[in-house]
Amino acid sequence: MNDYKFIGKPVSRIDGLEKVTGAAIYVDDMDFGPNLLHAEVVESPHANAIIKSIDTTEAAKLPGVVKVVTGRDFPLKFGLYMKDR
């Protein structure tokens, strides 16, 4: 059999060394600075209901709110349970 460069040989993880020396940066280790925005999900209070309308005007008026996003802002529907709808 030909001598391959990788096949049949042990390969070390490319990020192995940084993980065992504490150098690896995980998301919680990142500093996003004071401009980091926080998101809050508001769920329906009803277990099974039809959305007739969502009024976000009051929420948008709250101090510090940058943007209120609803399903209307995302044009696609996907997901396991969407076929029920």
Partner 1 sequence: MKRSIEITLNGEKRAVEVEPNDTLLEVLREKMGAKGPKVGCDRGDCGTCNVLLDGMSVRSCLILAIETDGSEIVSIEGLCPDGPGPLQDVFVKNNAFQCGFCAPGITVSAMELLNNNPEPTREDVVEAISGNLCRCTGYTPIIDSILEVSKKEKSR
Tell which one of 9, 13, 61, 67 touches partner 1 (CB under 8 A). 13
9 binds partner 1 (CB under 8 A): no
Burial 9-33 (b: 16+ CB within 10 A, else e): eeeeeeeeeeeeeeeeeeeeeeeee
5 binds partner 1 (CB under 8 A): no
Enumerate residues 14-43 that contact partner 1 by CB under 8 A: 15-17, 19-26, 28-29
CB-based contact 70:53 (threshold 8 Å): no
Q: By C-beta, is 9 or 46 nearer to partner 1?
A: 9
Q: By C-beta, is 6 or 74 nearer to partner 1?
A: 6
CA of 23: how far to CAs of 15, 29, 53, in Å? 10, 10, 49
Residues that bind partner 1 (CB under 8 A): 10, 12-13, 15-17, 19-26, 28-29
